[in-house]
């Protein structure tokens, strides 16, 4: 039995009101409420009414505001997680974004790349492009751990660009428990990166 569009609107609006501000979701998350066309129509109406924002094509967000800053834009990690979907297993920031997250670069890149073991996807959010790039199981072996971030950041910088200053920045950034994890994951890194990981982990403790 097909639901009346008004009832779908009401169901979706109640679902929206139960979500926390800042939550990002896709129309697929609302599939139990009606057909793709009905859900899309309801989302369009709620978007125009201001109950939702659209940070990127195919993604919707519950508006989030700060008392001083006003409307808040979603973080890249929020968008990447929404793109990955419910059945996603792993995400690993890579390239310039990994270096930025570790404080090795002050500039947030306009093209933010995540490695994934799931379906590759990409969207544009404002001036930024969020890319999910499928990669090998080996590259995902340290995903979600500090080791994965360090490996990807050092790979981006390249062996010749990693000097004493970079090592010291990582030592200041990484805590004792994370240093233990670095040592455990050395076998999963390229040889030259593994040696640098050892230098970071074995250096002066904070």
**Are 141 and 193 part of one and the same domain?**
yes
Q: Which residues contact 64 (CB under 8 A, 6 or more apart)?
A: 21, 22, 71, 72
Number of structural domains the chain divides into: 2
Domain boundary, last residue among 17, 38, 66: 66
Question: 70-71 and 65-66 as β-strands: parallel, antiparallel, unpaired?
Answer: antiparallel
Position 71 in a domain: no
How far is C-alpha 186 from the chain's CA centre? Answer: 24
- Average pLDDT in the 117-134 region? 90
Backbone angles phi, psi at 57, to 5 degrees: -60, 130
Average pLDDT, the chain: 89
The answer to whether residues 62 and 84 belong to one domain is: no
Residues 60 and 96 in one domain: no
Same structural domain for residues 132 and 180? yes
Q: pTM for the whole thing?
A: 0.81
Q: How far apart are CA 17 and CA 23, in angstroms?
A: 11
State pLDDT tens for residues 146-184: 999 999 999 999 999 999 999 999 999 999 999 999 999
CB-CB contact of 178 with 146 (8 Å):
yes
Query: Does 158 fall in a domain?
Result: yes
Q: Please identify, among 14, 45, 66, the residue that sits at the C-terminal boundary of a domain.
A: 66
Q: Where are the beta strands (DSSP E) in 28-127?
A: 53-56, 59-61, 65-66, 70-71, 91-93, 111-116, 121-125
* Residue 24 structural domain: 5-66
What is the band of 65 on the pLDDT scale with cuts at 50, 70, 90? Answer: confident
């Amino acid at each position: 039995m097909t639901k009346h569009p008004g009832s779908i609107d009401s169901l979706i609006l109640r679902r929206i009101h139960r979500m926390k501000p800042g939550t990002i979701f896709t129309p697929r998350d609302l599939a139990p409420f009606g057909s793709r066309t009905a859900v899309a129509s309801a989302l369009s109406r709620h978007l125009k009414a201001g109950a939702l924002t659209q940070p990127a094509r195919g993604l919707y967000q519950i508006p989030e505001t700060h008392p001083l800053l006003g409307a808040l834009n979603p973080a890249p990690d929020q968008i990447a997680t929404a793109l990955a979907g419910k059945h996603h297993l792993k995400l690993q920031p890579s390239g310039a974004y990994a270096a930025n997250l570790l404080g090795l670069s002050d500039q947030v890149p306009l093209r933010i790349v995540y490695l994934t073991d799931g379906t590759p996807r990409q969207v544009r959010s404002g001036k930024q492009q969020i890319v999910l790039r499928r990669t090998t199981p080996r590259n995902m072996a340290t995903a979600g751990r500090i080791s994965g971030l360090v490996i990807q950041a050092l790979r981006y910088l390249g062996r010749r660009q990693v000097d004493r200053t970079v090592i010291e920045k990582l030592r200041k950034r990484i805590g004792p428990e994370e240093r233990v994890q670095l040592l455990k994951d050395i076998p999963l890194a390229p040889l030259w990166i593994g040696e640098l990981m050892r230098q970071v982990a074995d250096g002066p403790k904070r």
